[in-house]
Chains A and B, each alone.
Chain A
Amino acid sequence: MDVPDSIIKACQEGDQAAFEELIRLTHASVYSLSLRIVGNPEDAAEVTQDVFIKLLRVIRQFRGDAKFSTWLYRVTSNVAITLLRRRSRRKIEVRMEPEDWSLLPAAESSDPAVTAEQRSLRVRLDAAIASLPMDYRTVVVMKDVYGLGFDEIAEQLHIQEGTARVRLHRARQKLKNMLHDELAVG
């Protein structure tokens, strides 16, 4: 995700056209993170819409001391976790079957540095992450994939940092075991 500073600044000043450009540039990334957390396309689409509506209100709070992408990942994971919490209170977790991840194509406009090989590995990695229990999945997606800190992960999930670390540890063990064949090759 690459958003020019000028676009962010214009959005903060209430420029509607700039905001539309921001949506165009970032909605695939917001959707992808949401999907990796909530586990199904319908909820991911709902989260994505909610993120941009929330951004209208909070984009002025972005001060430029962190990367915009990291800041946006933080906002997105927060909205996604709120939905997950709502769902689990009602005891419903809708989740795609891991093999269904192969039906979801990678976005065309992804980073040009991403190779075809990375794209094909992506499906297996996403499927493996999706098969993790929810508590492990959220932590590994936020920390290892999107680079958020333990402090903010713990805060968002309402858990202790130590608990977040333990969950991450288990998630990595499980992923390593699931992907052993391809990881061992290189």
Chain B
Amino acid sequence: MREQTEAMECAEARDHFPAFDQQTFPTQVLEHLKACADCRAELAEYRALEARLAGLAAVDIQPPAWLFGVITEKVAETARRRAAIYQARKQLENVTTPIGEHRVAAGSALGLAVLAGAVLFGRSRRHQRVGGVRAA
């Protein structure tokens, strides 16, 4: 058994290195590492790779200059649309019986929501312009 441990092939030991975590290596591999400088060098490369990969998240790639403006515009537009839908729903929920009035009230609630949407839309467009200039 002892002889078998020492005779562990480099290739066999190296199969475990991509796991990075030495804690998970079988004892035989750890034994082999003690005895084999080549494998220690190989493991050191994996360690360097691990550190480098972990460091990469801190290095952002420059996004295209137009991206910030487009995102803020789309987000404002989506927020406006959601607000308008929310308003319309709320108005409809407030409408109660009887059926005849219900129809009329629902219709005007929808009209109100559209109007509110138009007002919000106009405001957010102006707001975006300002944002866009600042971003540019």
Q: Which residues of A contact B (CB under 8 A)?
A: 16, 19-20, 23-24, 27-29, 31-33, 35, 41, 44-45, 48-49, 52-53, 56, 104-111, 113-114, 118-119, 121-122, 125-126, 140, 144-147, 168-170, 172-173, 175-176, 179-180, 183-184, 186
Q: Which residues of A contact B45 (CB under 8 A)?
A: 176, 180, 183-184
Among A20, A52, A118, A179, the most chain B Cβ lie within 10 Å of the Cβ of A20
Q: Which of B72-80, B91-99, B111-119 contacts A (4 or more CB under 8 A)?
A: B72-80
Q: Closest approach, in angstroms, between the C-beta of A70 and any C-beta of chain B?
A: 10
Q: Are B70 and A49 in contact (CB under 8 A)?
A: yes
Q: Which residues of B contact A (CB under 8 A)?
A: 18-20, 41, 45-46, 48-50, 52-64, 67-68, 70-72, 74-76, 78-79, 82, 127, 131
Q: Can you list 10 A-B pairs, Cβ within 8 angstroms, ordered by A?
A: A23-B71, A28-B63, A29-B57, A49-B67, A49-B71, A56-B75, A114-B59, A170-B18, A176-B18, A183-B45
Q: Are A147 and B54 in contact (CB under 8 A)?
A: yes
Q: Which residues of A contact B78 (CB under 8 A)?
A: 53, 56
Distance in angstroms between the alpha carbons of A125 and B54 in the assembled complex:
11
Q: Are A183 and B71 in contact (CB under 8 A)?
A: no
Task: Known contacts A183-B48, A184-B45; decide if A106 and B18 are in contact (CB<8 Å).
Answer: no
Q: Are B79 and A172 in contact (CB under 8 A)?
A: no
Q: Closest approach, in angstroms, between the C-beta of A185 and any C-beta of chain B?
A: 9
Q: Closest approach, in angstroms, between the C-beta of A46 and any C-beta of chain B?
A: 10
Task: Known contacts A121-B52, A176-B49; decide if A23 and B58 are in contact (CB<8 Å).
Answer: no
Q: Closest approach, in angstroms, between the C-beta of B70 and any C-beta of chain A?
A: 6
Q: Are A23 and B62 in contact (CB under 8 A)?
A: no
Task: Known contacts A20-B72, A23-B68; decide if A169 and B41 are in contact (CB<8 Å).
Answer: no
| Identity of the chain A residue whose Cβ is nearest the Cβ of B50 in the assembled complex | A144
Q: Which residues of B contact A175 (CB under 8 A)?
A: 49, 53
Q: Which residues of A contact B75 (CB under 8 A)?
A: 19-20, 23, 52-53, 56
Q: Are B18 and A114 in contact (CB under 8 A)?
A: no
Given A19-B79, A111-B58, A114-B55, 14 additional A-B pairs, CB 8 A: A23-B71, A24-B68, A28-B60, A56-B82, A104-B62, A106-B61, A106-B62, A110-B58, A114-B59, A121-B52, A146-B57, A169-B19, A170-B18, A180-B45
Q: Which of B52, B62, B64, B68 interacts with A125 by CB under 8 Å?
A: B52
Q: Which residues of B contact A28 (CB under 8 A)?
A: 60-63
Q: Which of B49, B58, B60, B67 interacts with A183 by CB under 8 Å?
A: B49
Q: Which of A20, A45, A172 interacts with B46 by CB under 8 Å?
A: A172
Distance in angstroms between the alpha carbons of A113 and B76 in the assembled complex:
34
Distance in angstroms between the alpha carbons of A110 and B18 in the assembled complex:
29
Q: Which residues of A contact B79 (CB under 8 A)?
A: 16, 19, 56
Task: Known contacts A23-B71, A31-B67, A48-B71; decide if A113 and B53 are in contact (CB<8 Å).
Answer: no
Q: Closest approach, in angstroms, between the C-beta of A44 and any C-beta of chain B?
A: 8
Q: Are B49 and A179 in contact (CB under 8 A)?
A: yes
